[in-house]
Amino acid sequence: MIGTSLCKWAISYFAVAIVWLLLAEVLVVAGFCFPNHDIGGPDTLVIVHMVSIGWLSTVLCGALFQFVPVLAARPLYAERWTLPALALLTLGLTILLAGFLTLGGHFNGSPRLLPVGASLLIAGFALVVANLGMTLWSARPLPGPARFVAAGLGCICVTAAFGGMFSLVLSGTAIGAQWPDLLVSGVPIHAIAGLGGWLTFTAMGVSYRLLAMFMLAPDSDARLGRLAWLAGIAALAVGAVGGVLALWRATGVKLALLLAGAAALLSLIAYGRDMLGLYRARKRRALELNTRMSLVALASLVAVAILGAVFLATGSLQSHVGALAFLVAFGWLTGLVLANLYKIVPFLTWLETYGPVMGRVPTPRVQDLVDERRALKWFMLFFAGSWAATLMLLVDEAPGFRVAVAVVTLATLGLGEELIRARRLADVSEPLRLPTGAVVPHLLVSRN
Amino acid sequence: MTQFIDVDVRPILRAGGEPFSIIMAALARLEPGEGLRLYAPFKPVPLFDVMASKGFAHREAELEGGEWEIRFLPDDGSSDAAEPAPAVASGGDWPEPVVHLDNRDLDPPEPMVRILAAMERLAPGQPLFALLSREPVFLFLELTKRGHQWRGGFTPQNDTYQLTVRVCA
């Protein structure tokens, strides 16, 4: 069996992603957009894409470059593609945002900005998908968690394809003019494939292995994740078919989306049951902060499922879609990602710094690189802020929403500083900090 | 007529595991004169050296889809159809492990730290045996860097990873 090495640029992906997250949060606090007003408006699109591409997709790509080789027990197909992909994603997103700002009248740019930005983003995601896809391809047949990732990679292709077509429509090109209704009916597919398939489904798959690993729970049960996988795939397939039917203005679309929603709910319930099972079967009684915070994030996902079902039953889903999307993006995905970064960054730093001298001199433990008590305070602020912001959206209270997001921003800054301190080994006590042969890692790049 | 014990390592390899320990376990169960029939998804060339050093000749047959059936026969001079065993390149038979570690209940990355620390105290050529709850993918990187050799795989129950590491001789 081959070993897994450190992905040199994973830390750079994390850093770029956190910068995008902070930028988006600051813009919201500054009053740039309020999701309840005009959810499809250009200003909302700026924030949505900063969060979904700049923050969540970038951080997920970096984590997958490090983690897919572990899932697949194969080396990454092309390490040298990772930095160009990051450059393409960052540049593409910047240009795309400039395009949205032009659309919103904040900026006098060319209408070509949207398709140019979208093309660069598609190129960046293509590099990511090809790299991870080839890595997974060499490991067929795939173990359970890796299948979730493979499905997620399929979904990012769908998301990017629709995004590319939207950019042609929104920029007023002649090609785009052939599909006048694309925006109305294509946006749900774009959003379901992006938020549901790529971000949530991939995060679910990865968390099967990560949570089992961190809780010391046996994850060899062949049934683990099976129902979540089958129902999730059914939801994505039915959702896509329903979306395509909508494009053709066929009847029965609502039924397809309802079925997809039911399958998605079943998938989430099965996933929650599996996570609860891992939690109960764990050998490590006292859980580390990252695991506890992942479970808190999971509670947000449960809340999304319950609220979504209630709103659907009462027919008020349309007016609360902004609040639900915020809870998915922050309470669930951002919370889960920050919780796991809080483990991944210290672990990679520890491996990089102390791996070469391990066994030869005393080394600190991974836990010695962090101060959980200090970080817990930031995590509590983060989740309290996210839930308060969701509540403010539900009651349509814009100033309250901004105050809540300001709290989230403060917590993000605090957690960002914790990650920098881990990278700098700032919390490691002195005699152990730098044994002979160990060097402090670079802040943004790993030596591998 | 030689009796064979069948070992199918295809599912183990497909699941990403290392079948070496399972093959060795099957080998230990062989009665005198019995052979081992191995089914593998590829031609397991490195295994031929190991088996030759244990006194087994082999006959190979390609199955459909690039898979292989290999028959290992006790090489007591009576087997005429087996190819002559190639020279043993490296590895061969490893001595009994001098250190046994049960790291199954340790928090990661403590298993890795313990194994590397124990390896430092071993003499060249001495092996260490460890039980782990997971495949130690990050440990392999360090072992490679330090020039150690290892063999490992999950037990058939798939809940324990058995690892043997040998200090580079």
* β pairing state of B56-62 and B127-132: unpaired
Backbone angles phi, psi at A195, to 5 degrees: -70, -40
Interchain CB contact of B100 with A (< 8 Å):
no
CB pairs under 8 A between A and B: 70
For residue B109, list chain A residues with Cβ-Cβ distance below 8 A. 347, 350-351, 366
Most confident among A273-287, A393-407, B24-38, B76-90 (mean pLDDT): A393-407
Closest to B115 in 3D by CA, of A6, A358, A362, A353: A358
Tokens of A89: 């994603």
A374: its two tokens = 């200090």
Q: Report DSSP state, residue B107.
A: P
Q: Does A4 contact B at CB distance below 8 Å?
A: yes
Place of tokens 């938020």: A195
Angle CA A376–B113–A13, to nearest 5: 50
Laid out side by side, the sheet with B4-8 consists of: B4-8, B35-40, B68-74, B56-62
Residue B1: the pLDDT is 57
CATH for the stretch B3-74:
3.30.110.40
What's the confidence (pLDDT) of residue A214? Answer: 79
Per-residue pLDDT of chain A (448 residues; tens, 9 = 90+): 455 678 889 999 999 999 999 999 999 999 888 887 777 788 999 999 999 999 999 999 999 999 998 888 788 999 999 999 999 999 999 999 999 999 988 888 888 999 999 999 999 999 999 999 999 998 888 888 899 999 999 999 999 999 999 999 888 877 777 777 777 778 888 888 998 899 999 999 988 888 888 787 877 666 788 899 999 999 988 887 777 776 676 666 677 778 888 899 899 999 989 988 888 888 778 888 998 999 999 999 999 989 988 998 898 888 898 999 999 999 999 999 999 999 999 999 999 999 888 888 888 989 999 999 999 999 999 999 999 999 999 999 999 999 999 999 999 999 999 999 999 999 998 888 988 888 889 999 888 7
SS3 B71: strand
Neighbours of B13 (CB within 10 A): 16
Residue whose token pair is 């026969």: B73
**At which residue do the structure tokens 């709850």 appear?**
B133
Q: Do B108 and A213 touch (CB under 8 A)?
A: yes
Q: Which one of A358, A361, A448 would you mutate to disrupt binding with B, by most B Cβ within 10 Å of its Cβ? A: A358
Q: Which of A70, A220, A359 sits opposite B158 (nearest CB)?
A: A220
Whole-number Å distance between alpha carbons of A346 and A371: 11
Q: Which pLDDT does position A249 carry in this prediction?
A: 65
Q: Which CATH architecture has domain B99-167?
A: 2-Layer Sandwich (3.30)
More confident residue, A82 or B77: A82
CB atoms A1 and B159 under 8 Å: no
Length of chain A: 448
- Length of chain B equals 169
Residue A2: predicted pLDDT: 53
| Residue A358 token pair | 């391990």
Looking at residue B87, its pLDDT comes to 30
User: Regarding predicted confidence, which is higher, B87 or A135?
Assistant: A135
Name which of A116, A110, A108, A109 is nearest A91 in CA terms. Answer: A116
| CB proximity B46 to A under 8 Å | no
Residues forming CATH 3.30.110.40 domain(s) in chain B = 3-74, 99-167
Residue in B119, B135, B138 nearest the CB of A359: B119
pLDDT at B116 exceeding the cut of 80: yes
Write down the pLDDT at residue A253: 67
> What pLDDT, on the 0 to 100 scale, is given for residue B92?
55
At B9, which amino acid appears?
A: V
Q: Which residue has the higher pLDDT, A27 or B83?
A: A27
CA of A361 to nearest chain B CA: how many angstroms apart?
Answer: 8
Is some CB atom of chain A closer than 8 A to the CB atom of B66? no
CA atoms of A199 and A396, how far apart (whole Å): 27
Min CA distance, B2 vs chain A (Å)?
Answer: 33
Q: Given pLDDT bands bounded at 50, 70 and 90, which one contains residue B58? A: confident
Residue A367 CA to residue A369 CA, distance in Å, equals 5
Secondary structure of residue B100 in the 3-state scheme: strand
Predicted ipTM?
0.76
Model pLDDT, residue A394: 95
Q: Are strands B68-74 and B99-102 parallel, antiparallel or unpaired?
A: unpaired
Structure tokens at B115: 């194994």
For A287, the closest chain B residue by CA position comes to: B107
Q: Which residues of B touch A355 (CB under 8 A)?
A: 138, 141-142
Q: Whole-angstrom Cα distance, residue B111 to residue B97?
A: 17
Place of tokens 């830390």: A11
Q: Three-state secondary structure along chain A?
A: CCCCCCCCCHHHHHHHHHHHHHHHHHHHHCCCCCCCCCCCCHHHHHHHHHHHHHHHHHHHHHHHHHHHHHHHCCCCCCHHHHHHHHHHHHHHHHHHHHHHHHHCCCCCCCCCHHHHHHHHHHHHHHHHHHHHHHHHHCCCCCCHHHHHHHHHHHHHHHHHHHHHHHHHHHCCCCCHHHCCCHHHHHHHHHHHHHHHHHHHHHHHHHHHHHHHHHHCCCCCCCCCCHHHHHHHHHHHHHHHHHHHHHHCCCCCHHHHHHHHHHHHHHHHHHHHHHHHHHHHCCCCCCCCHHHHHHHHHHHHHHHHHHHHHHHHHHCCHHHHHHHHHHHHHHHHHHHHHHHHHHHHHHHHHHHHHHHHHECCECCCCHHHHCCHHHHHHHHHHHHHHHHHHHHHHHCCCHHHHHHHHHHHHHHHHHHHHHHHHHHCCCCCCHHHHCCCCCCCCCCCCCCC
**Per-residue pLDDT band at B85 (split at 50, 70, 90):** very low
- Asked if B137 has any chain A CB less than 8 Å from its own CB, the reply is yes
Confidence of residue B82 (pLDDT cuts 50, 70, 90): very low
Judged by CB atoms closer than 8 Å, whether chains meet at A1 and B108 is answered as no
Averaged pLDDT for residues B130-151: 85
Note whether B143 contacts A3, CB cutoff 8 Å.
Answer: yes
Contact residues, chain B, for A347 at CB < 8 Å: 109
Cβ of residue B109 closer than 8 Å to a chain A Cβ: yes
CB contact under 8 Å between B142 and A220, yes or no, is no
Q: B158, A222 in Cβ contact below 8 A?
A: no
User: Is B141 in CB contact (< 8 Å) with chain A?
Assistant: yes
pLDDT at A238: 86
Cβ(B43)–Cβ(B53) below 8 Å:
no
pTM for the whole structure: 0.82
- CB B107 to CB A216 under 8 A? yes
Is A73–B107 a contact, with Cβ atoms under 8 angstroms apart?
no
